[in-house]
């Protein structure tokens, strides 16, 4: 009895064209291995599909960091006096998060990133 090797025998889905950029971006806030599980594909397959779509780096750590910074400034700005500088920082952080999510070549995110400067500016003024 001969066994004929076929991809269908291994239950492997090599065609990931059903995974769209929109599907992937919905999972950007979670770790890449968790996103792969949610999407029902292997980690290497997801990474391969991301590279094919121009997503060079998985942005969860950056997005979560920006989310924490945003929350920090929102909490700081929650008092009776609303600081216009803090509001501007929050607005820019939100813009940066949207840029990261919607930028095709995520590897260039460093060029857009000024978030560290925001943190230092506020600490110096205190």
Residues 121 and 71 placed together within one structural domain of the fold: yes
CA 57, CA 51: separation in Å to the nearest integer?
8
For residue 90, what are the domain limits? 60-125
Q: What is the pLDDT of residues 17-73, one digit of tens each?
A: 788 899 999 999 999 999 999 999 999 999 999 999 889 899 999 999 999 999 999
DSSP conformational letter for 17: T
Residue 66 near residue 96, CB atoms below 8 Å: yes
Residues 65 and 119 placed together within one structural domain of the fold: yes
What tokens appear for 96 in the block?
């940066």
Residues 85 and 105 placed together within one structural domain of the fold: yes
19 assigned to some structural domain: yes
29 assigned to some structural domain: yes
Count of the separate structural domains present in the chain? 2
Q: What is the pLDDT of residues 38-54, one digit of tens each?
A: 999 999 999 999 999 88
């Amino acid at each position: 009895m001969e066994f004929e090797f076929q991809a269908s025998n291994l239950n492997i889905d090599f065609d990931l064209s059903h995974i769209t950029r929109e599907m992937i971006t919905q999972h950007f806030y979670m770790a890449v291995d968790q996103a792969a599980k949610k999407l029902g594909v292997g980690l290497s397959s997801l990474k391969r599909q991301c590279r094919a779509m121009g997503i060079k780096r998985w942005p969860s750590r950056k997005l979560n960091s920006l989310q924490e910074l945003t929350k920090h400034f929102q909490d700081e700005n929650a008092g009776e006096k609303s600081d216009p500088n803090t509001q501007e920082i929050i607005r820019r952080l939100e813009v940066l998060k949207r840029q990261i999510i919607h930028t095709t070549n995520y590897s260039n995110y460093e060029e857009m990133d000024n978030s560290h400067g925001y943190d230092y500016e506020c600490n110096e003024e205190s």
